[in-house]
Structure 1
């Protein structure tokens, strides 16, 4: 993801202005970063740290901590607006953007409601002109409504429906009773669920932003068509991966200081990327897991081996690695992680009739899974591009009419499902 997508001159440019700042500015930057991280650590990681310290005391034979600690409630979306605040300060310090003199503009940027609670992470330098001079047009509103409905459909029709299988396997089947088929059903379902849940929210945020005159950058670009983990992270949660690239990987030295430093940087970045997702050992393991594969793909013999495979096998490699990663990500604890990995490898048998996975695979779930697979591939954008390239006004009219009717039908179906279903929040609300 990172090492091969950053031009060397960009790294130099990012760091070249360090020496042009006085001590007061450096102190202000340090204070800003420290304050942001202090709030994030307190609200997001204090429970995790205290629980683990307490566990260590118990292992050493003590009665635990000598004080009680009240559980901290996690504020909604704190990871996202904390990173936005930090990016603003860092960009101003390095001269990437001018500081705003209007505190209201800064507040508008940090609390921009369409993407406030689950991204994409927006940088001030990308939208400051839009905050200063908002422009709302009918074309933009129309495009925003369409984008919002598509995101809503991703969430309600596909993600919510296929979550029945994912939640059924992960939450209802005991770890010791998992089998090969049930484990893979749960993992495949979650692989589709998390993509359509999160990309659906991003689409809705981008769509609402359009309606108010804001153009947010894309956050997903069909990640499951990737042929490597490196490519996957160029397509998945783009705003987060580029944030870590620009504000952590490059300042650590990027790929400019030799292979070992590059490997260390990749590992550190993804360790922290995992921790960013939550204060759990499973998230840390997930980050280390992805970082390890990114390092592996930098090693010459493995890179040559991977590129020598047919494209279909490269896709299979990516899907296998990503799916195992999602098993780690979705598990509640490390014991469940090991149980899933054991079951997915076939060591717990092919089937378990005591806990049949088939009860989670109704016709609605199977249909949602099929739609998920289809829409994970850029079939319709390619078809649309092909039709628009034809010099036929009638073809464009037919395409536009089809799009309008499709959006109306999707919106009506979403309203029906929402009115008859249960509360199913976005997965990334917890981060």
Structure 2
């Protein structure tokens, strides 16, 4: 829920408005959401000239139990300590401020967002962006600053509204921290009766490392393009459908005359070394191609939702990880490390079933991430220059979500994590790394 406070108005009017605003429910669905349009319309009555300011926030205390001490649960909220298999955590603590200014024709003109995240590990900025709306043709708007990257569907879903506790392994590896510094140009016709009002085309340019690193560390940028269709209701079924296609074209600049990529010799794939002076300052590619679709029935009491997404392409990282680096990789002695480029693929399927009341939801989710599609099983071994970064993971998750009231909900969820059996040390069989999560969420 959002409580709204006008920047300047008569005290009595402001008081009456605040009482009204506290009865208005607001649910942030995506990380780049703006204020609900019905709230904005009420704000115009008293703060049209000076704009409007609103605050929202949520808190996610949770308790987790891992299958064994020292479980590597980086993608389930962080690894456990060496001698730890259970823990309390404050997964997220968000406080967000939104400001909107309307023009003389009651169209959104300027929008501004600042959001902090505070946990037991510290306080960080999560969003800090501004948006300008072109209102002559009502076709475009531009978003600048630290914001969510417009790629795919799961990456853009807010953690306040997602049913499963965390995004899938694929999403977290390819787009660490979801946000990045850059600019996005968006085409979305806003005329009331236009036939293209549900079509959205985003074109963004970003640093690439996102919040995983302190600053841009090379000259390469990520170019992200997404064409999507907003939710369309097929009244005859009744069923709603939405979806889109996305691509990221980016890379990382080599600083060493050494690089690695997969090559085939005598029908055997191996990680091959390329030593060439021409490698220095060359761009190691990051190329992502994705498609996503979302289905939902229109009923509320027994609503069914199905969301699916697939991404494949080329990913550049290091010998020991497939995750996008936040800074140029070095070893413990600060010696520069070479880049490794791999073909990857990943996907997820999320099923959510509302059980009679909208307060109760059953959650089923499957996702996989294969960081190196050229090899699998026992062909993943150190003799071919491969490491744990080349091991495929499949995750099966299931849980139950209950809304106790409009400001408090809880989910119990279990992740069954399966790695493929390889000849890499520690990954000869499936690791005991399943995780149980009990998460609560307070929000306003």
> Which has the larger helix fraction?
1
TM-score normalised by L of structure 2: 0.21
> Which has the larger strand fraction?
2
